């Protein structure tokens, strides 16, 4: 609860060597994890203020996702954490994501949405998320049900 689990995908859509399968993963962002192309990395500044393309992995994926969420929140400051979770699921795109080992296939859930235990619902789509966020009606309060203790066993 109160989290959005993000994984990473290589720029060509494959899984990265460090990716882990997890049912909590909601989406992915592109990163550099297998490519031999020196221009395929995530651009950022290094510790010395220089530009680098060596930022990669989930260390790059999480801040990329945070940037997308910030854009959505800028478009609609009334969004709650649950709204952002829903927007993530509804606007992520499968694109060309694939697992070369074919261990983690895509499935259709009960709501008719495609998901994958490595990529979640796909790659974040900042443009689509912002467009949906502009007119998003916040979800009702979360229903919470607490069960009592079972005794006598």
CATH of residue 9: 3.40.50.200
Per the domain annotation, does 150 fall within a domain? no
pLDDT at 48: 93
CA–CA separation, 67 and 103 (whole Å): 30
- Strands 107-108 and 114-115, by their bridges, are antiparallel
Dihedral Cα 135, 66, 89, 105, nearest 10 deg: 160
Per the domain annotation, does 153 fall within a domain? no
Q: List the chain residues with pLDDT less than 70.
A: 33-38, 150, 152-153
Domain range for 129 is: 5-134
Which pTM was predicted?
A: 0.83
Per the domain annotation, does 98 fall within a domain? yes
How many structural domains comprise the chain?
1
pLDDT at 150: 67
pLDDT at 152: 61
CA–CA separation, 46 and 149 (whole Å): 53
HSE value, Cβ hemisphere, 13 Å, CA-based, for 24 = 7
Per the domain annotation, does 23 fall within a domain? yes
């Amino acid at each position: 609860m109160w989290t959005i689990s993000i994984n990473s995908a290589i720029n060509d859509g494959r899984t990265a060597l460090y990716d882990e399968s997890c049912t909590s993963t909601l989406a992915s962002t592109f990163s550099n994890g297998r490519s031999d192309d020196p221009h395929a990395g995530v651009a950022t500044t290094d510790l010395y203020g220089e530009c680098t393309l060596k930022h990669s992995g989930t260390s790059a994926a999480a801040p990329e996702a945070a940037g997308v969420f910030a854009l959505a929140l800028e478009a609609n400051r009334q969004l709650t954490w649950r709204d952002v979770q829903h927007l993530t699921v509804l606007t992520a795109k499968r694109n060309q994501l694939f697992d070369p080992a074919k261990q983690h296939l895509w499935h259709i859930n009960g709501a008719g949405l495609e998901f994958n235990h490595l990529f979640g619902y796909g790659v974040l789509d900042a443009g689509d998320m912002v467009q949906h966020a502009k007119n998003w009606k916040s979800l009702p309060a979360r229903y919470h049900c607490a069960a009592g203790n079972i005794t006598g066993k």
